[in-house]
Amino acid sequence: MELDHTDRSILDLLIQDGRMSYTDIGKELGLSRVAVRSRVNQLIADGVIEKFSCIVNSEKVGKNVSAFFEVDCEPANLVEVAESLVNNPVVASCYQMTGPSTLHMHVLVKDFAQLESFINEELYGLKGITRVESHILLRRFKSRSGLKL
Amino acid sequence: MELDHTDRSILDLLIQDGRMSYTDIGKELGLSRVAVRSRVNQLIADGVIEKFSCIVNSEKVGKNVSAFFEVDCEPANLVEVAESLVNNPVVASCYQMTGPSTLHMHVLVKDFAQLESFINEELYGLKGITRVESHILLRRFKSRSGLKL
Amino acid sequence: MELDHTDRSILDLLIQDGRMSYTDIGKELGLSRVAVRSRVNQLIADGVIEKFSCIVNSEKVGKNVSAFFEVDCEPANLVEVAESLVNNPVVASCYQMTGPSTLHMHVLVKDFAQLESFINEELYGLKGITRVESHILLRRFKSRSGLKL
Amino acid sequence: MELDHTDRSILDLLIQDGRMSYTDIGKELGLSRVAVRSRVNQLIADGVIEKFSCIVNSEKVGKNVSAFFEVDCEPANLVEVAESLVNNPVVASCYQMTGPSTLHMHVLVKDFAQLESFINEELYGLKGITRVESHILLRRFKSRSGLKL
Amino acid sequence: MELDHTDRSILDLLIQDGRMSYTDIGKELGLSRVAVRSRVNQLIADGVIEKFSCIVNSEKVGKNVSAFFEVDCEPANLVEVAESLVNNPVVASCYQMTGPSTLHMHVLVKDFAQLESFINEELYGLKGITRVESHILLRRFKSRSGLKL
Amino acid sequence: MELDHTDRSILDLLIQDGRMSYTDIGKELGLSRVAVRSRVNQLIADGVIEKFSCIVNSEKVGKNVSAFFEVDCEPANLVEVAESLVNNPVVASCYQMTGPSTLHMHVLVKDFAQLESFINEELYGLKGITRVESHILLRRFKSRSGLKL
Amino acid sequence: MELDHTDRSILDLLIQDGRMSYTDIGKELGLSRVAVRSRVNQLIADGVIEKFSCIVNSEKVGKNVSAFFEVDCEPANLVEVAESLVNNPVVASCYQMTGPSTLHMHVLVKDFAQLESFINEELYGLKGITRVESHILLRRFKSRSGLKL
Amino acid sequence: MELDHTDRSILDLLIQDGRMSYTDIGKELGLSRVAVRSRVNQLIADGVIEKFSCIVNSEKVGKNVSAFFEVDCEPANLVEVAESLVNNPVVASCYQMTGPSTLHMHVLVKDFAQLESFINEELYGLKGITRVESHILLRRFKSRSGLKL
């Protein structure tokens, strides 16, 4: 599957403003509204566009503490642990990386009390977890939305 | 600033579908289109909604390698290094965390050749960098869009 | 709960000298003895003042070795291990921190023989402990009393 | 210098309540008020009692974040770095330990914004600092006051 | 067993070109074809020459990802784990080193999907494995063939 | 470039025995000598076969100590350090990996005296090297020749 | 127990030459042979002199490889593991230190084959050992005999 | 150089008791005093016996603290640092090992005050030292004298 220059321009505009109308996109790129809609639908069908969303400021909705976790598991339990964690609403993302046999996980919580209870009551009780390392976000220098990590 | 239940319901719908029309949101929640628009505008004005965007599949646009970096800096250079890195288009995000005095950075590149050239020609040349650790994404278990990390 | 300037001045004086009489505090701050007593009682009732104490030089009472421990536990056992440790009279403090899933513990003992016997006979026998790291205090640059860590 | 049983009983009472009157201590231990005062004065003169103080709840006076730091220095700069840090009012304690050539430091701050500014504007600017590791207190299991660590 | 200068010259030529004819080697070194053959046969009989081989470019045969693993095992299981791993066709080499009680292993796979499935489905299921660290080859500066590591 | 089944069979035979005659390969695979030669020449021209070689037992030629090094460099010096190292005849291979910003290097030497002199007189003198970690090979479980790592 | 200057001089001479005659020591220090013997006997009776010995060059008696081990144990098994190890004739010394919960052990063996067999057949089979790290001596800068570490 | 069984028996006796008379050794082994002397002299001439010494209990001579150091140096300074350290009387031994580019050093001091002053005033001032790790001996399980490590 090959994206042409027009497809990429449409994506750039929609990443900047996910609610931009097809008419406005068309004006910007010299296309008809119908041509834009047709290309967007194709991008969705091809899985290039996964969804439209709105980016919400986590502190403004009461998620004041953003924490990153390295979760070491018994290798035999890693996938099972990951599958438990992704069902927890405080877990924003969960990845397996090269490097050590840990899960890399982002967690958003209201405050330290919720963080401590997540750690001691939910995370530490999972079978196969051997060690957990957590760090708290101090400062965001860049946080690009629109492209899935 | 206090969000009420209706605000949260609007946010949930827009996170699920960032292009949902205000009319459809209103139907779902028993509100007029005008009331929805007014609340959304207020959420934007208050900084709760940072932007609307579309979530693009990185592999489908040719970003096949997703890498996480821990960048150790001389403490005195950390902010300056961060400010150089955020201008680099392959850098998706860059955070300062508690824990070691490193920057945590996500990078999306086309392939290993581009990764190696980013590391050797761009990253390693920055003044004040003392050690770099990189890991490659093997598997995504969860990757929530819509809430800024 | 909001502390005013007078409350903070009273706290500063009592941190400096926990036995200062209310009359003397009153003279210093231009208050009556009764007003001071009433504010101190309120600070105690609000939990601002946890207790009055005296700070004892540990070497002078025969606690010659001050050791810091990082105690790694099976995550599922961390709370239980902590609860055993806090009952041990040589344990001065015990905290759970972000970072690795360890307990951070301060221990005061008479000498190395007591340290070794604490480690081998008490600490290492606790169920769920996987690794212990100990360090001995060499030099105090600052050790503030009066504010709970 | 040898403490007898009566000295130790007086210390125990004063650690429990630093403002206990000498009369009440005397009643408890079968001593006259004068005998108690004379022993306490001797304990102060001998440096056994370093000071009387009051233990203040740090969250209640607006110190919501309690952080522990490991500060790695160029060995040649360690003492000088320590001497700068102890003058900073957010630094509660600062120790040199066996183990790695780091300073172990406790910091009490109002919030994450103050923590980030302490790290980036004060700590990271000190000459000779090569690496900093910070962790946030999640839970206190024991925090003994009255005996200097 | 002592190699003379002529033996070493023959080895050098065969490392450079494993198919060089004995006649050509003889011309180069002033020996008869028969003398060369006799010496080569002796080198094989003595185990100096382990085999003749051809060096294949791994990417050109579809092995695009070259990964190095550090495999931590329960010490009691290390040999057994090693013996399982060497039977896996993606494992190119497997060594026990001084340093930590890990196996050092080189793996060649087609792509990241095969790497992830090797890790999660084959490696992590082996009994006695406690932790795995993997790194991906970014750049070859030198890769000498002909001398067994 | 696509290898067919016959190409792969030829490669397998030549990896097993790099001096196998084209006639014998042809007999094995039902091809003429000329067809085999033509395919081998094409595999060489395409870079699939990098060279023919002979695999020499390192201990038998007096290389008794096989060491692996992790060489940490100032990031800005990594490529230059690598280029110095590859010219050293004791260096068998040298790679840049993901993970820490180190070079991974294999070294073959006669004995410990030569290892120590390589470390102290050659390696440690290179500009930009900050830390070196070395490990000695204890046991080979598998060491595949024929496929470049 | 207090050593005077003459005791220390006798110790210095005996550390330099453990077979020095009491007559010669007496001449050196202006004492009678009887006085020297009496003081030496007292030093032995007091445990100051643990034994007389001769310092043997380990390579010259065929112990060519000197290795240091860090042996991590389950804390509950540490003493038992140590007691097994000290009975092994290749173990020269074995200590428990502050720092990580490991045993620090010195081993002298004939060659790498004996080292590998000690590791895989003796050490790794001990119950409660979780991780072993080994390093080989490259160069002695100082090795003081006569004073027990 | 080959030691026979009689040589080894003589060494064993002298390691056990470095002052054993040649007459007594001869009786034990069925040799004349002259034959023993002649063999011992040959062992000394060959460097097998490095010296006779007496093993002194370090605590009994006021060396109460036995510390092990890992001293990280700039690789280019390692030999020079080692040569400074071996001249310091508190340094009992100093080795270069495989593993990290550190010096391994044993130090015997009177007390913690002397340890702290050695670290801060002597060790940390040496040019090229980047990090120091120290651990204190808690318990000796075995400490063999007579064979040089």
- Give me the residues paired with residue E72 across strands: E102, E131
DSSP D93: E
What tokens appear for D82 in the block?
């320590």
Establish if F119 touches chain G: CB-CB under 8 angstroms.
yes
Interface check E117 vs A, CB under 8 A: no
Surface-to-core class of residue G2, CB atoms within 10 Å of its CB (0-12 exposed, 13-18 middle, 19+ buried): exposed
Token pair in block for residue F69: 């090094």
CA distances from B93 to A4, A148, D76 (A): 26, 11, 36
pLDDT in tens, F100-110: 878 999 999 99
Question: Which residues 50-69 in chain B show a CB within 8 A of chain A?
Answer: 50-58, 60-63, 66, 68
**pLDDT tens series, chain G, 149 aa:** 689 999 999 999 999 999 999 999 999 999 999 999 999 999 999 999 999 999 898 889 888 899 999 998 888 899 999 999 999 999 999 999 888 878 999 999 999 899 999 999 999 989 989 888 899 999 999 887 665 55
Give Cα E77 distance to the centre of its chain: 24
Q: A54 to chain E nearest CA, in Å?
A: 31
The residues with which D143 forms a beta bridge, in sequence order, are: C93
With tokens 């390691």, the residue in question is H15
Query: What's the DSSP call for residue D147?
Result: B
Say yes or no to pLDDT of C149 above 80. no
Which parts of D17-85 fold into alpha helices (H)? 22-29, 33-45, 78-85
Shortest alpha-carbon distance between residue E115 and chain F (Å):
15
Q: Which of B25-39, D111-125, E125-139, H65-79 has the highest mean pLDDT?
A: B25-39
Any chain F CB within 8 A of the CB of G126?
A: no
Chain F CB within 8 Å of residue G139 CB: yes
Which pair of tokens denotes residue F41?
Answer: 């020449």
For the stretch E83-103, pLDDT in tens is: 999 999 999 999 998 888 789
Position E110 scores a pLDDT of 92
Residue F119 DSSP label: I
Contacts of H131 in chain F (CB under 8 A): none
Residue C4 has pLDDT above 60, yes or no: yes
CB pairs under 8 A between A and D: 15
Cα-Cα-Cα-Cα dihedral sign, residues B71, B73, B76, B77: negative
Average confidence (pLDDT) over C77-106: 91
Q: Which residues pair with residue C51 across a beta bridge? A: D55
Please determine, for residue D147, whether its predicted confidence score (pLDDT) is greater than 80.
no
| Burial tier of H140 (Cβ tally within 10 Å: 0-12, 13-18, 19+) | middle
G111: how many CB neighbours lie within 10 A of its CB?
Answer: 12
Cβ pair G61:H11 closer than 8 A: yes
Of B116, F124, F59, F148, the residue nearest E58 (C-alpha): F148
Question: D99 to chain G: which residues are within 8 Å by CB?
Answer: 98-99
Pick out chain B residues at pLDDT < 50.
none
Residue C5 has pLDDT above 90, yes or no: yes
A65-73 vs A129-143, strand pairing mode:
antiparallel
E strands present in G24-147:
49-56, 65-73, 91-97, 99-100, 102-109, 129-143
C-alpha distance from A104 to closest chain F C-alpha (Å):
15
Residue pair E81/E74 in contact by the 8 Å Cβ criterion: no
Is residue C130 within 8 Å of C74, Cβ to Cβ?
A: yes
E strands in chain A: 49-56, 65-73, 91-97, 99-100, 102-109, 129-143
- Stronger pLDDT, H99 or F26, i.e. the higher one: F26
**Strand spans (E) along F2-146:** 49-56, 65-73, 91-97, 99-100, 102-109, 129-143
Kindly list the distances between the CA atom of residue A71 and the CA atoms of A134, C78, D20, in Å, as whole numbers in the listed order. 8, 15, 49
State chain C's mean pLDDT as an integer: 91
Q: How far is C127 from chain A (nearest CA, A)?
A: 14
Residue B1 corresponds to which tokens in the numbers above? 């600033």
Token pair 């690795």: residue: C100
Please indicate if any CB of chain D lies within 8 Å of the CB of C110.
no
**Do E and C make contact, counting contact as 3+ CB pairs within 8 angstroms?**
no
Q: What is the pLDDT of residues A86-123, one digit of tens each?
A: 999 999 999 998 888 789 999 999 998 999 999 999 99
Which own/partner pairs from C40-45 qualify as long-range (CB within 8 Å, at least 24 positions apart)?
C40/C10, C40/C14, C43/C7, C43/C10, C43/C11
Chain D: touching chains (3 or more CB pairs < 8 Å): A, B, C, G, H
Contact F116 G136 (CB under 8 A): no
CA distance C31 to chain H (A): 47
DSSP-H helix ranges across H46-148: 78-86, 112-117
Res. E117: pLDDT tops 60: yes
Determine contact, residues B136/A97, Cβ cutoff 8 Å: yes
Residue F143: CB partners within 8 Å, gap ≥ 6?
A: E93, E95, E148, E149
CA gap D90, D119 in Å, rounded: 11
Contacts of G82 (CB under 8 A, 6+ apart): G94, G96, G103, H141
For B135, phi then psi, to 5°, come to: -135, 150
What confidence score (pLDDT) does residue A93 get? 92
* pLDDT tens sequence across E38-82: 999 999 999 999 999 998 988 898 888 999 999 988 888 999 999
The pLDDT value recorded for residue C147 is 59
Q: Is D76 exposed, middle or buried (0-12, 13-18, 19+ CB in 10 A)?
A: middle
Q: Which subunits count as partners of chain B given 3+ CB pairs below 8 Å?
A: A, C, D, E, F
Contacts of D98 in chain G (CB under 8 A): 98-99
Eight-state DSSP code of residue B60: G
* Both tokens assigned to C19: 């036995």
**Which residues pair with residue G148 across a beta bridge?**
none
Longest CA–CA span in chain H (Å) reads 58
Task: Please tell me the pTM assigned to this model.
Answer: 0.86
A122-136, F8-22, H37-51: least confident range: A122-136
Please tell me the distance from the alpha carbon of residue F49 to that of residue B147, in angstroms, as a whole number. Answer: 51
Burial of E1 per CB tally in 10 Å (0-12, 13-18, 19+):
exposed
What are F1-47's pLDDT values in tens digits? Answer: 689 999 999 999 999 999 999 999 999 999 999 999 999 999 999 99
pLDDT computed for residue E14 by the predictor: 95
H122, containing H or E segment:
none
3-state secondary structure chain C: CCCCHHHHHHHHHHHHCCCCCHHHHHHHHCCCHHHHHHHHHHHHHCCCEEEEEEEECCHHHCCCEEEEEEEEECHHHHHHHHHHHCCCCCEEEEEEECEECEEEEEEEECCHHHHHHHHHHHHCCCCCEEEEEEEEEEEEEEECCCECC
The C-alpha atoms of residue B96 and residue B106 are separated, in whole angstroms, by 12
Beta bridge partners of E5: none
ipTM of the complex: 0.85
CA atoms within 13 A on the CB side of F122: 16
3-state secondary structure of F143: strand
- E98 interaction partners in chain H (CB closer than 8 Å): 98-99
Cβ-defined contact of C124 to G75 (cutoff 8 Å): yes
Which parts of chain B are beta strand (E)?
49-56, 65-73, 91-97, 99-100, 102-109, 129-143
List CB contacts (< 8 A) between C25 and chain D.
none
Q: Note whether G131 contacts E75, CB cutoff 8 Å.
A: yes
